[in-house]
Chains A and B, each alone.
Chain A
Amino acid sequence: MKLQTKLIITFMVIILLVTAQALTVFYFTQQTTQNFEEIVQHSSPAINALDQMNAAEAALVQEVFSYSLKLQLGVLTGISMINNHELQQFQDNWQLMDEGLNEYVTVASETVDSSLTTELRSVSMNVYQRGLTYLSFSTQVNNPELLSEAHTALEEANNDFIEVLQQAVQIESDRLRQLSELSTQSASQSFILNIGSGIALIVTIVTIGFIVVRTVAKPIRTLDVAAKRIAQGDYLQYIKVASNDEIGQMTTTFNAMVDAIRKRDFELSELNKALEQRVIETQEAREQAEKSNHVKSAFLASMSHELRTPLNAILNFSQFVSSGMVGPVNDEQVDLLEKLTMSGKHLLSLINDVLDISKIESGSLQLFVEENINLSEDVKAVIASGQILLKEKPVEIYFDMGSDLPLITGDRRRIRQIMLNLVSNACKFTESGHITVTLRKQEQELIFSVRDTGPGIAQEDHEIIFETFRQSETGMRVGEGTGLGLPISRKLAEAHGGRLWMESHIGEGSTFYVALPIQLVQMPLSV
């Protein structure tokens, strides 16, 4: 059964019980009232009737005596006093008596023995007859014995009547007392019943409430305890489904949830194990990579040494001979030797660039950071190197240096390498006009720029020139370059937390910019 249904039934039962209690109370109260009403209804007419009889009889007897006295006096004084009016009054009183009697008989017929009413009727009749007799004898003043006899007879009848009437009154008053006792009894009974049923009702409601609360609260408490244990990591909880209501459904859901958690927990721990394994593997892989990186760095260092060593002999010997240091040489020999020297220098720059790019790409490039570098000296040295490259070309180099240049932190050699690369490129590609080198502070950066009046770079080559071993068409025509200078420079700038970019249009020259943070933010090189 649903919990909702249970609760609704409980409330219905309680409402029913309360209603029943109210009805019972109402019923008993009603009955008590009825008893009293009955007493009043029943008793009053009977007593009234008796009262009426009593009064009428007394009046009648009184009338008879007084009228009789008048008659006797009239006879004595010779005045006839008889008249219909007084006789009529006698009859009226009798009439009232009779009515009272009839009324009484009607009202009391059920409760009073018929012998009493018969007797009452007989004594009443007796009073009437004796009264009448006495009246008719009243003129017989000459016969006092007879008069006195009639007088006595009326008094006797009167006494009999009063006696019987008193009996009737006694009966009525007894009945009244009896009814009164009965209704008092019934009232107290109904009071006890009301109290009793009230207490029974309270006990019943409390019991029902307790049972309902127990059926609802107990399984919830069980769930609560189980949930707490689960929270502590004990997943071996299974709660028996005890009812078919919402709590039963909740318990089923709870069990399913515990199952799911247990499963999830297991999966999680499996996953965790797998993850730990992966971490170990990754660590091993990293160690392996570090090892192989170390081997690579050692190889690069060795390569660097082995490739440059023969170039020391090649470059110097060719120049010794061509300069005439070791004996006379003719022009043709000088020309060839100079070409040999040029090729050797190109080979050297290739070796240097290849080694740099290998370092960058293997992630083994290291910056040797110095603080408080004054770059203006370096820029001047770089410009001097550029002047040599210009040879006889009609190109002017201008240097525009901002005031109050800050000292910066970075790898001085590498920064100079970037600047030399940009200035050399400008010198190589500019046939006439001017090259403007600027160095200025902008916010927290130092901006180095090289603007030339060279051929400019086509839009489609703007990215290509930063790719390794790629050159623009102009670059390839001019020759000399390795196609590595710009990619290396850009990576070196980025390694300093800076950037390198350019603006150029065909026929309008090019401007290359390098921004370096004044306070070095060393970045891991992205390969």
Chain B
Amino acid sequence: MLQNKRIFVIEDNIDNRVVYHLIFVKQGALFEFDRWGTSTVSKIKAFSPVDLIIVDLMLPNGVTGFNIYSEIRGESLFNHVPVIAVSASDPSIAIPKVRDMGFSGFIAKPIDYQQFPKQLEKVLNGESIWYDG
């Protein structure tokens, strides 16, 4: 399903990275992690062409997925790439917010490893997805 899809994941938590890693490896996807920083945009550029960007909403040093989204959308090279939030934040608050900002989807943590690839595939097919877990 996700064979050779290029997915960039902004996630700082090691355990969560392991979860993504195991799923993506099994799915044959190509992926890259980064915690948000000054070099992130250039890293995404280096990883281009990117098919999907996944962002965590609560990052260290007060950085949020909402700030990141604006910066990503400001970059012409990948401003058309779907961005989804995968977060442990309260979905009842986070979903309306990210939807209003223009995210292509929200998946609540903990994720369902069996459903997760199907959900991403929907996004890659141009759908919006809102999973509150």
Contacts and interface: CB of A to CB of B under 8 A. Distances in A.
Interface residues of A, number: 29
A312 B93 contact: no
Interface in B84-98: 87-93, 95-96
A311 B16 CA distance: 10
B19 interface: yes
A316 B88 contact: no
A325 B26 contact: yes
A476 interface: no
Given A312-B111, A366-B93, A413-B132, A305 B16 contact: no
Interface in A358-407: 359, 366, 368
B58 interface: yes
B18 interface: yes
B99 to A, nearest CB: 9
Given A305-B58, A325-B22, A413-B132, A319 B113 contact: yes
Contacts of B28: none
A313 interface: yes
Contacts of B22: 316, 320, 325-326
B63 to A, nearest CB: 14
B94 to A, nearest CB: 9
A314 interface: yes
A304 B96 contact: no
Contact of A315 (B92, B95, B110): B110
Interface residues of B, number: 26
Contacts of A359: 92
Binding site secondary structure of chain A: helix
B110 A348 contact: yes
A237 B93 CA distance: 65
Given A301-B90, A315-B110, A325-B22, A348 B95 contact: no
B19 A368 contact: no
B49 interface: no
Contact of B95 (A305, A311, A320, A368): A368
A366 B97 CA distance: 12
Contact of A314 (B90, B93, B110): B110
Contact of B111 (A300, A316, A325, A352): A316
B26 to A, nearest CB: 7
Given A308-B109, A308-B110, A309-B13, A413 B92 contact: yes
Contacts of B26: 325
A355 B89 CA distance: 12
A316 B90 contact: no
A312 B89 contact: no
User: Which among A311, A312, A314 has the highest number of chain B CB atoms within 10 Å?
Assistant: A312
A28 interface: no
A317 interface: yes
14 contacts: A304-B90, A305-B88, A308-B109, A309-B13, A311-B110, A312-B15, A312-B88, A314-B110, A315-B110, A316-B111, A325-B26, A344-B110, A366-B92, A366-B93
Q: Can you list the 3 inter-chain pairs with the closest CB atoms, starting with the nearest?
A: A308-B88, A313-B15, A312-B110
